[in-house]
Amino acid sequence: MSIKFFGQFLLEKGVITAEQLLAAVKVQQKKNLRFGDYARAKGQLTDNDIARLHAEQKRTDIMIGELAVKLKMLDQKQVDELLTMQENDRLFIGEALRQNGYISRDVLNRELDLFREDQRRYVPGVISVPAGFRDAESIKILADLTRKMLHRIAQLETKAGMGEMFNGEPMKNFAVVSISLSGGVDYEFVLSAPRKVAIAMASGFIGGDASGEPDDILADGVKEFCNITCGSVMARMAQKGKQVKITPPHEVAYPDGECNIVQGRNAVCYPFISTAGEISLILVEK
Amino acid sequence: MSKKKVLLVDDSAIIAKQLQEILDGSGDFEVVGQAKNGREGLELFSSLKPDIVCMDLVMPELDGLQTIRSIMSLDKSANIVVISAAGGVGDQVMEALNFGAKNVITKPFQPERVLEVLKGI
């Protein structure tokens, strides 16, 4: 059992084929407009405004609508209207599959019920912290910002799994990167990413397809991703009056195929599932 | 007009690569050296005498703050721009500006922002 998107769930169960899923995703992508598209269509934002908002969004921890209000590009009423329009128009994958004639309404309803049951322990949008950690708030901030940065830098939509106590050491992966936070937040931040995720991160930095880049550059992209994420944690904590220091990111070594970073300490692991593969965030209490 | 010489001091190869492409591609700047930590940065600053230094803050061996302080003690007119991942609000950034850094660019950055800042130096 793992976190899944509904389309993946249907595919794995053989309810739909891969071709049908891809076709439905295309319909979805065409139909589902972004916040900026709605604002542009209503003449409230120009292309330049939207580009500026996207650029600013990469540096901040704010939703695009909130940012537009902050920068006085839109007022709150306009943002609320645009968000409502976007939500009302949103085409979900199940509905896209039904509209394309790949599944019937009865099958859609039945499978949705089964999917919800299957995914009950994974709550998208909510970061939960298991009992036994002395600074649950910091853990939530670290996990939440990691997920947001995956979207903003690597353009990866993810689903976060429930945080679970982590025993042992992280498995070897394309890149396993660690940063030590101290001061207002006392945790070891460890991110494990497969190659495809590293490509997505590097692509976000170089502003183009990074799949042809050598492995050391891709791994460096993961390090820089961690650096920026922890930098955002510093900024968030500074707003709360807490000073945080971070070490430079480093790749965790696997000398004999194993690493020694958790060292039996209290740790929590969050899996983030994306189309590029699973990313694991492990936070180790120091 | 001759191109301004830029020294990059950043332990991140991908950020250095991105900056080099932006600067070399602009026609106004030329990246003359890259250092992976503050110690290398200091050595290259002395030997290359760049017009501008782009400096990361969080680096191994000698961090950005210490390096800025050392460079400013060597040359009070040095032009240093901080390339920061810390959201631009941290004490470190303020400290860097206090030490004499001229401006700050927050990672991840847009090419236009980098050129705008460096042209303003």
**Nearest-CB residue to B87 (from A55, A235, A247):** A235
Q: What is the pLDDT of residue A19?
A: 79
Q: What is the pLDDT of residue A208?
A: 86
Report the gap between the CA of A16 and the closest CA in chain B (Å). Answer: 39
Can you list the domains of chain B with their CATH numbers?
4-119 (3.40.50.2300)
Report the gap between the CA of A64 and the closest CA in chain B (Å). Answer: 17
Q: What is the pLDDT of residue A281?
A: 96
Task: Inspect the interface and report whether the beta carbons of A220 and B14 lie closer than 8 Å.
Answer: yes
Average pLDDT of the residues in B8-23: 93
**Which positions 41-70 of A are in contact with B (Cβ < 8 Å)?**
55, 58-60
| 3 state SS for chain B | CCCEEEEEECCCHHHHHHHHHHHHHHCCEEEEEEECCHHHHHHHHHHHCCCEEEEECCCCCCCHHHHHHHHHHHCCCCCEEEEECCCCCCHHHHHHHHHCCCEEEECCCCHHHHHHHHHCC
Task: Inspect the interface and report whether the beta carbons of B14 and A228 lie closer than 8 Å.
Answer: no
Task: Inspect the interface and report whether the beta carbons of B14 and A243 lie closer than 8 Å.
Answer: no
Task: Inspect the interface and report whether the beta carbons of B86 and A224 lie closer than 8 Å.
Answer: no
Report the gap between the CA of A233 and the closest CA in chain B (Å). Answer: 8
Contacts A58 to B, Cβ<8 Å:
108
Is A154 touching B (CB cutoff 8 A)? no
Note whether A254 and A241 are within 8 A (CB).
no
Q: Which of B8, B11, B14 to mutate to test the interface with A (most CBs of A within 10 A)?
A: B14
Note whether A169 and A262 are within 8 A (CB).
yes
Q: What is the pLDDT of residue A124?
A: 47
Query: pLDDT tens digits for chain A (286 residues)?
Result: 344 568 877 876 788 887 788 889 889 888 888 899 999 999 999 999 998 888 887 666 567 888 899 889 999 999 999 999 998 898 999 999 999 999 999 999 999 999 888 766 544 457 888 988 888 989 998 998 898 889 888 989 888 778 899 988 999 999 999 999 998 889 999 999 999 999 999 999 888 899 999 999 999 999 999 999 998 888 778 767 778 888 989 999 999 888 989 998 999 999 998 889 999 999 999 9
Cα–Cα dist A54/A101, whole Å: 36
Q: Which DSSP state fits A241? A: T
Q: What is the pLDDT of residue A219?
A: 96
Q: Which is nearest to A124 in space by CA: A246, A15, A274?
A: A274
Task: Inspect the interface and report whether the beta carbons of A206 and B84 lie closer than 8 Å.
Answer: no
According to DSSP, the residues that pair with B8 across neighbouring strands are B34, B54
Q: What is the pLDDT of residue A119?
A: 67
Can you list the domains of chain A with their CATH numbers?
6-118 (no CATH), 136-285 (3.40.1550.10)
Report the gap between the CA of B3 and the closest CA in chain A (Å). Answer: 23
Is A257 touching B (CB cutoff 8 A)? no
Q: What is the pLDDT of residue A59?
A: 65
Where b means 16+ CB within 10 Å and e means fewer, B93-119 reads bebbeebbbbbbbbbbbbeeebbebbe
Is A206 touching B (CB cutoff 8 A)? yes
Q: For B15, what's the count of Cα atoms within 13 Å in the CB-facing half-sphere? A: 28
Q: Which DSSP state fits A269? A: E
Cis peptide before B108 (omega within 30 of 0): yes
Number of A to B CB contacts under 8 A, please give it. Answer: 74
Measured between CA atoms, the residue of chain A closest to residue B93 is: A235
ipTM exceeding the 0.95 mark? no
What confidence tens digit (pLDDT) does each residue in B38-94 have? 999 999 999 999 999 999 988 888 889 999 999 999 999 999 999 887 654 456 777
